[in-house]
Structure 1
């Protein structure tokens, strides 16, 4: 339904526009640059510029309501009619009819030219450099030329000499009016609300002032010289065009330094001044030389207009491009969140507290590997939004944020940050996920980039230390924690050395046996146990897992380690063909990073295709934490391995007993109870209850139970009573080099055959 009140309000608004703009046209109609023209004996006083013509074309270009445009033309025609009646002693004549037809044609022609120049435009669309070509061809040439030809039609009611004079007057008057008013006004109107472009280099205000002062002094001295040498005593004229190069420089400075409003006003006033200065030349336009001189001046004015507009538009575009690029460098390209550079700029301004937090979200690499960058970006943005009312967030990398407090007095700020992130559920591919937060907090003193970087490094060390120890509380430190720095440098060194060992195949495999409790007193039925990895450093010394596992996983190289272990295992097995028939079950550990890596899965299937052992003799162990944190990815990989005939074991069971519901989704053949519960199981305390519950869970899942870290007979006896089926620990054998174990197995097989 049409809202009549809305129509009435819009009509009132349009009427106001007509009165304001039409009134301005009437005022400009009264601003002449007078000169006397003589064509074929027809002498008349005329104006060299029709400023209202330029305003009317600008209105046609800017105003989308054509009724407003028509109203402005009607008011302007009314003003012309009143003046014409005054000159004709209030006697209407044919000139009025011709004027009405002329204004009606001008209205239609203005709308057509505006449309050809692709105006009016939607709000927000600005003048571009490519518009200058259309404006030069249509606005500065075609528009006044057609109006001058229309003015020639006065010959129907007057003499041909008057018609030629009228056409001449209208061409230059309309042309100068458009040049002085139209384009500067359109640009100034469209640039409202946009920042002022600034010139950064060579923009000191002194040099344009000095140049302008020199220009004024030069003009004054030119007047003095002309007065001294004018023989006929005629009044000297200022010829400003003689100083157009100096004027170009001053005006160019204004284009680069002033706001759009003042720059366009300066350009328009300068052009108006130049038109006024050449009015004397127009009096001689009835001669061929004078006419072409006026055309030459008109061309120079148009070139000046277009050159200044091009300079202004180019500077505006350059400024906005620089601002956009600068803004983009302050944000991460994937998430759109402020980055470390934005943090460095932010600390230059007053802060609520000179304290910085470093938030580390665990398992975010799984989001990228399992769901893609878009899901990871959504998760990071969701985290930032959840914290935006208490801290400023700056994105450092995948799952890592630098945080600045927003309030000076908030004693439990960092604890609240941890609580908000820890209890937030993230939608990852339709599945709810929770990312464990780890937080380091460091104080800083200063705004220099080096100080802020040091604070970020210190806080990040604390966050990674918290993750290493599984500490879900903020860790605090000051900037001078040298022990933390030494720890970090040692970790970096270990990671570098471990990567070098992997890539140079300096991998040594150890083997720890696993026994069936039913076979402990009898002969073992084949080789069954777990493969353990060791690396050799450059000196040939063995690196323990404590030195290289955490650094490799922190560097994202867990999958590379797992593949290296499988390759080394298959090489050793191929070198001991006699031991292969006696290999009952060989267990291989997989890291959480391997579960989330598609490239790992492809490479592992390729290796398994050339396995020297049947698939039923291979068992892959995954820690409970990694399996539950990557449930979807783990289910897919482990199901594929199980379909090939491999066995699947959940290692360190009991550390994540709150996640039995998710564990139900995994294909499980073996559950290995974490050794921290097995060590004290014989004391019949809480650990005994945990082991008992683990056995019950394994039974419900139809899985075999294996107890780790069995070191004495009392523990073995207790495990037997609880129904544990397999055991592993120093009571049955310490880890030994796999090559020795395979050699002994082959030797025992040879003795048995003989």
Structure 2
């Protein structure tokens, strides 16, 4: 590896250093012959069956973008040939020397042209691909040596025709074998530097080689023995083709197991060995049988070269594809963040702390529905980046992360994680938002996948429990966690049962009246003003309270489905009681935060409203202050559209988000319902009194009516009247009753009184 790095360093150095190194290599290869004796038309000469330097020169022309470096290498090679020619000519320059100079000059131009037709040189980092083998076979292995050989026939101008035929023969096979042995293996090996080698079991390499070597030796010994026994003694020489299948196995193993430079070196050396073993065949090329036998051997060598390179390239591409697919399985496809599989692999390595956190970001479902997956992915990536110096974040699902600590000695780590997320503003579509974090922490012991999964499940239960209680401090695993898990299982069961109730229209509506504190003299005594409350029936026909199904449905992202089911059920009941319709003054319907961000909900709601049995002015839609503020843009769009239709808009649970009055100002508001937690103790004239007083002032500034919830005694009513609250709702005026009964009673009373 050190030598490879040294060569690469020289390659990146100046032009002179490149010429010195590469030209020197060409001179060295020029001195490595595969000798044989040739006899054409009485012209007997010693020759070499392979010109290794020719293969290297073509490789240089393919790889090097600086043409002056290429020319310098050809010049150095010509200088080596010229010195040797002068030695044979007794130091006297002759016509052959001039012919050689012209021939090398043509070879330079022809090599550059062939390199360009082969698609080289290419940008750094671009590698050899399987389609390149077709062009290389046609141009590099056939056209390139054939043209050089035909040009070599021009030696007839300075020599005899027999010498010209001999030269053509020598040059074709020598150049062809030189290209086969050197060019493409060098190009592949050079372009693969810096890329990881295909994974292999290096410990077994030498056993494989020993076994294959022993098999080859046994094959050679058996072949020679058979030839001596059954054939004449003169025919007992080694015949290469008897072992091509064994060589195929050796090379195939090398291509699949060795690193790229090792595999290409093995391929070149094997081909050079094969060329050496067929040198004896070349001596009989002056006969038709000998010549075609040599062509046959050349064809097989070329097929062997291309087959091995195709095998190697296929193995490389398949290995890289498998590694790429494996890497993709370690990341979430939407956010690109590491996933649970990556977490399992990470835990197999040493950790700073055997502790795992589970981070749950609230209201991310609304974020996805309102802005799309791309914005959600940006928000998740922004959260992970904000925590990257404290923990390693692994994406579990929408708004959920598994966290591994980066440092061991940080007792306040998990508190810092929560604080950093809680105080961070994330830019979403040009609008800053904050995502509330809930964190569960669990310890684990071991690296097995089941241990990791158990820790993730434990920490996730703690995080969801923290969200359920609105607790923004980390929750740690303790002995009471079994109760948490049982609670989570119960919530999952409730969510499943609630969804089944929605799908089967087992929706029961209740109604709680809202009263005016100051009665108008001409008011309709039978007027219905109040809030529709939803209940679901389970499979046994028993009523499920909102505490059982609201949180699980919202956690499952089915809030919008619940709201649509309520509107459908309300309109069905109203159509069944036409006599009560004229007395329906204001019917309030609750909307969840998920409905505000859902475009499909808005489309479906408009369709339902088009067939409403009540005028739009008799409908009031209530949204909680927290949901309205968290989804200001989406809420403003939907509520503005509803208001334009004639519906009224109420902000429910007002006071729980008083820090967000600035955003609330952007919403269309007709009614503000003061949260019951403040109303219940308002008569004590403490902090709750001040909150209600401030809420009334805000409502007046907004031009909105006020409704106080949870009014249960006359002292509270008196205090609210003094504060200027206009409407009240609570058990003092009536408990929730089935809406069907309320409509029936209203219709009956109106009929009895002649209204």
TM-score by length of 1: 0.96
For residues 199-598 of structure 1, the aligned pairs below 5 Å read 206-223=207-224, 237-478=237-478, 481-519=481-519, 524=525, 526-598=527-599
Aligned to 1:702: 703
1:548-590 Cα deviation digits (max 9, x unpaired) = 1001000000000000000000011111111111111000000
Q: Aligned-pair RMSD on alpha carbons?
A: 1.9
1:588-636 Cα deviation digits (max 9, x unpaired) = 0000000000000000000000001000000000000000000000000
- In structure 2, C-alpha distance between the alignment counterparts of 1:535 and 1:315, rounded to whole Å: 60
The 3-state SS of whatever aligns with 2:14 is: helix
- In structure 2, C-alpha distance between the alignment counterparts of 1:88 and 1:479, rounded to whole Å: 99
For residues 612-691 of structure 1, the aligned pairs below 5 Å read 612-691=613-692
Cα distance, 1:341 vs structure 2: 0.6
- In structure 2, C-alpha distance between the alignment counterparts of 1:180 and 1:568, rounded to whole Å: 83
- In structure 2, C-alpha distance between the alignment counterparts of 1:709 and 1:358, rounded to whole Å: 37
Q: Is residue 152–residue 167 contact of structure 2 (8 Å, CA) maintained in 1?
A: yes
Q: Is residue 443–residue 478 contact of structure 1 (8 Å, CA) maintained in 2?
A: no
1:615-664 Cα deviation digits (max 9, x unpaired) = 00000000000000000000000000000000000000000000000000
Cα distance, 1:454 vs structure 2: 1.2
Cα distance, 1:480 vs structure 2: 8.0
- In structure 1, C-alpha distance between the alignment counterparts of 2:602 and 2:226, rounded to whole Å: 93
1:334-391 Cα deviation digits (max 9, x unpaired) = 1100000101111111111111100111121222222211111111111111111110
Would the alpha carbon gap of residues 517 and 256 (structure 1) be closer, same or farther in structure 2, given more than 3 Å must change?
same
Cα distance, 1:206 vs structure 2: 3.9
Cα distance, 1:172 vs structure 2: 0.2
Would the alpha carbon gap of residues 131 and 359 (structure 1) be closer, same or farther in structure 2, given more than 3 Å must change?
same
Q: Is residue 455–residue 479 contact of structure 1 (8 Å, CA) maintained in 2?
A: no
- In structure 2, C-alpha distance between the alignment counterparts of 1:673 and 1:605, rounded to whole Å: 28
- In structure 2, C-alpha distance between the alignment counterparts of 1:291 and 1:199, rounded to whole Å: 42
Q: Is residue 106–residue 147 contact of structure 1 (8 Å, CA) maintained in 2?
A: yes
Cα distance, 1:211 vs structure 2: 2.7
Cα distance, 1:241 vs structure 2: 2.5
Cα distance, 1:212 vs structure 2: 2.0
- In structure 2, C-alpha distance between the alignment counterparts of 1:202 and 1:427, rounded to whole Å: 53
- In structure 2, C-alpha distance between the alignment counterparts of 1:682 and 1:97, rounded to whole Å: 118
Name which of structure 1's ranges 464-473 and 654-663 shifts more when overlaid on structure 2: 464-473
1:503-538 Cα deviation digits (max 9, x unpaired) = 111111100000000129997461100000011111
Would the alpha carbon gap of residues 698 and 12 (structure 1) be closer, same or farther in structure 2, given more than 3 Å must change?
closer
The 3-state SS of whatever aligns with 1:356 is: strand
1:478-517 Cα deviation digits (max 9, x unpaired) = 4982211111110011001111111111111100000000
For residues 165-176 of structure 1, the aligned pairs below 5 Å read 165-176=166-177
- In structure 1, C-alpha distance between the alignment counterparts of 2:232 and 2:471, rounded to whole Å: 101
Q: Is residue 515–residue 524 contact of structure 1 (8 Å, CA) maintained in 2?
A: no
Aligned to 1:54: 55
Structure 2 unaligned residues grouped into runs of 5+: 1-9
Aligned to 2:7: none
Aligned to 2:89: 88
Cα distance, 1:197 vs structure 2: 1.3
Cα distance, 1:217 vs structure 2: 2.9
Aligned to 2:745: 744
Q: Is residue 458–residue 479 contact of structure 1 (8 Å, CA) maintained in 2?
A: no
- In structure 2, C-alpha distance between the alignment counterparts of 1:241 and 1:479, rounded to whole Å: 76
- In structure 2, C-alpha distance between the alignment counterparts of 1:214 and 1:544, rounded to whole Å: 81
Q: Is residue 592–residue 627 contact of structure 2 (8 Å, CA) maintained in 1?
A: yes
Q: Is residue 11–residue 18 contact of structure 2 (8 Å, CA) maintained in 1?
A: no
Q: Is residue 358–residue 400 contact of structure 1 (8 Å, CA) maintained in 2?
A: yes
The 3-state SS of whatever aligns with 2:701 is: helix
Cα distance, 1:307 vs structure 2: 0.8
Q: Is residue 27–residue 80 contact of structure 2 (8 Å, CA) maintained in 1?
A: yes
Q: Is residue 127–residue 192 contact of structure 2 (8 Å, CA) maintained in 1?
A: yes
- In structure 2, C-alpha distance between the alignment counterparts of 1:231 and 1:528, rounded to whole Å: 119
Would the alpha carbon gap of residues 708 and 430 (structure 1) be closer, same or farther in structure 2, given more than 3 Å must change?
same
The 3-state SS of whatever aligns with 1:531 is: strand
The 3-state SS of whatever aligns with 1:753 is: coil
Q: Is residue 526–residue 749 contact of structure 2 (8 Å, CA) maintained in 1?
A: no
The 3-state SS of whatever aligns with 1:343 is: helix
Cα distance, 1:226 vs structure 2: 5.8
- Count of aligned pairs: 745
- In structure 2, C-alpha distance between the alignment counterparts of 1:575 and 1:610, rounded to whole Å: 14
Aligned to 2:34: 33
Cα distance, 1:218 vs structure 2: 2.8
The 3-state SS of whatever aligns with 1:649 is: strand
Cα distance, 1:96 vs structure 2: 1.2
Cα distance, 1:106 vs structure 2: 0.3
Would the alpha carbon gap of residues 146 and 519 (structure 1) be closer, same or farther in structure 2, given more than 3 Å must change?
same
- In structure 1, C-alpha distance between the alignment counterparts of 2:568 and 2:225, rounded to whole Å: 99
Would the alpha carbon gap of residues 594 and 257 (structure 1) be closer, same or farther in structure 2, given more than 3 Å must change?
same
Aligned to 1:712: 713
- In structure 2, C-alpha distance between the alignment counterparts of 1:455 and 1:221, rounded to whole Å: 64
- In structure 1, C-alpha distance between the alignment counterparts of 2:175 and 2:53, rounded to whole Å: 9
Name which of structure 1's ranges 220-229 and 85-94 shifts more when overlaid on structure 2: 220-229
Aligned to 1:5: none
- In structure 2, C-alpha distance between the alignment counterparts of 1:12 and 1:686, rounded to whole Å: 79
Name which of structure 1's ranges 620-629 and 438-447 shifts more when overlaid on structure 2: 438-447
- In structure 1, C-alpha distance between the alignment counterparts of 2:79 and 2:565, rounded to whole Å: 93
Aligned to 1:134: 135
Q: Is residue 591–residue 622 contact of structure 1 (8 Å, CA) maintained in 2?
A: yes
Aligned to 1:163: 164
The 3-state SS of whatever aligns with 1:122 is: coil
- In structure 2, C-alpha distance between the alignment counterparts of 1:557 and 1:245, rounded to whole Å: 66
- In structure 2, C-alpha distance between the alignment counterparts of 1:497 and 1:468, rounded to whole Å: 19
> Are residues 1:20 and 2:21 paired?
yes
- In structure 2, C-alpha distance between the alignment counterparts of 1:101 and 1:548, rounded to whole Å: 93
Q: Is residue 208–residue 253 contact of structure 1 (8 Å, CA) maintained in 2?
A: no
TM-score by length of 2: 0.96
The 3-state SS of whatever aligns with 2:753 is: helix
Q: Is residue 526–residue 750 contact of structure 2 (8 Å, CA) maintained in 1?
A: no
> Are residues 1:149 and 2:150 paired?
yes
Aligned to 2:198: 197
Cα distance, 1:187 vs structure 2: 0.6
- In structure 1, C-alpha distance between the alignment counterparts of 2:470 and 2:317, rounded to whole Å: 52
Aligned to 1:178: 179
Q: Is residue 425–residue 433 contact of structure 2 (8 Å, CA) maintained in 1?
A: yes
